[in-house]
Structure formats: structure tokens, C-alpha cells
Amino acid sequence: MSQPFLLGVLGGMGPLATVDFMYKLLAATPAADDQQQIPVVAWNVPQIADRQKALAGLGPSPLPQLLQGIHRLNEAGASHIAIPCNTAHHWYGALREASTAPLLHIVEATLEKLQTAPARPEHVGIIATQGTLDAGWFQQGLTRLGITPVLPTADEMQNWFVPGCYAVKRGAPAEGGALLLRQAQALCARGAGALILACTEVPVALQAIGAPALPQTFDPAVALAERCSQLWQAYRQAAFS
């Protein structure tokens, strides 16, 4: 038999977003009892250096601490590893090389979900950190699908996204939600027919304020959770058939 299935979660970025991802794993998995849910080991250690500041040249690289988390998850026997932080995927290549267990990619999971959406919008807004926007992962993927990305302006990032994101990190998700809702509405006003919530703090913040109806949204954490669930269900089917 192949290695037992054990999902490793490299979290702590931030800790609330990791807890939210763990809930999304449960929601994504059809289970009649506890034993049918995904077995998970999580490294939810929030002392990882700030990813946004590192990419802006304002702080140390988080890579050594990320590598430590990857090492601990491999030590624990993880068969696959998920990283519920979009910005941390800047270091995906180095982490993948250091890991025995394969790493799932949050951007790839999101684009696959968008590709199979029943109503594919022509313009999609991206709510993300500057590091994720600068990397261009979502923009490139959308362009390959024939979709036009709609991006935040520099003023919107400074006035709404950054303070909204950090409000969640300091335990004020409703305050963050009010700011991030303004960012979402601005993207929609510029033609976005759907939104990618490409920072794991964003869905938490919008849920905290019971955000009014927005157009179709794609949550990368949900897409990643669903991909993990698919792997687990395939494993169970093979193991018990």
C-alpha cells in the first residue's frame, strides 16, 4: 500500500486564516462521521517573518522559518502539503525542492476552479497583497483563459487593502472587512464581473461584516481545500475498494 494519507498544512500566515482553512477542509469533504474526514497535521506558527514586508524590502525573508515548517511537516509524515497563504507562494519553488511530500499550489487550484465555472466572466478583479500582484500569477493565469484582470490602484492598496489586511491580523476582522469591502466595490465599479479573494485574510474579513452581495467570488483557500479533499477521497477509494 502507498504511504498513508496525511495532509500537512503550512500555516500561521496568519493564524486566523489557517483556522479558517481548516474549517474549509471540513466543509469541502463529504463525510458521514469523524473517521471520513481528512487527517491533518498543521504547522500554525505565526512567528514567520512578514511576507509583505520582506517582498517590499522592509524586513527579513521568511524562507528560513518556512523551511523549518516544511521540515517539521515532513518529519510528521505528511503525504501532501498545502500552504493557505497566497503571498508565501513566492517561495514555493524553494519549499518544493526541500520537501519530500509534494506541495499543492493555491494559484493552480484557483485557476482550475475558475476554468470550470459555469459562467466565466470577461473581467475578474484581484484582491491581493502587492507581492502577489507583482508576481503576476493570477494575472497570467486569467490572461491564458481569455479573461481580463482588474487590479487595485496604488491608492486603494494604501488606503484600503493594506490596513484592511493588517486589521484582521491584529484581531479586528470587522474593521478590516469594512475597508476590504470598499476595495471589492471599487474593482466592481471598474468592470470586474467576479473577484478573486487572493489573500486569505480577505474572506475572513468580509464574512465578519456580513458583506452585502458581491458578484461571483473565487476564494483560493476554498479551491485549495477542495483540491485536498479530492486527493483524500481518491486515496480512500483506492484504499478501501
Q: What percent of the chain has pLDDT over 70?
A: 98
| pLDDT score recorded for residue 2 | 66
| Domain definitions of the chain by residue range | 7-105+222-240, 107-220
124 three-class SS: strand
**Which one is predicted more confidently, 76 or 241?**
76
Average pLDDT over residues 111-131: 93
Residue 68 has pLDDT above 90, yes or no: yes
Phi, psi of 7, rounded to the nearest 5 degrees? -80, 125
Indicate if 107-220 has the same CATH topology as 7-105+222-240: yes
Is residue 119 predicted with pLDDT exceeding 90?
A: no
- Residues tagged active-site: 85, 199
> 107-220 — its CATH code?
3.40.50.1860
| Closest CA relative to residue 117, chosen from 195, 185, 181 | 195
Specify the pLDDT at position 239. 85
120 pLDDT tier (thresholds 50, 70, 90): confident
Contact 70, 99 (CB under 8 A): yes
Check residue 1 and give its pLDDT.
43
Sheet with 7-10, strands from edge to edge, namely 40-43, 7-10, 80-82
CATH code linked to domain 7-105+222-240: 3.40.50.1860
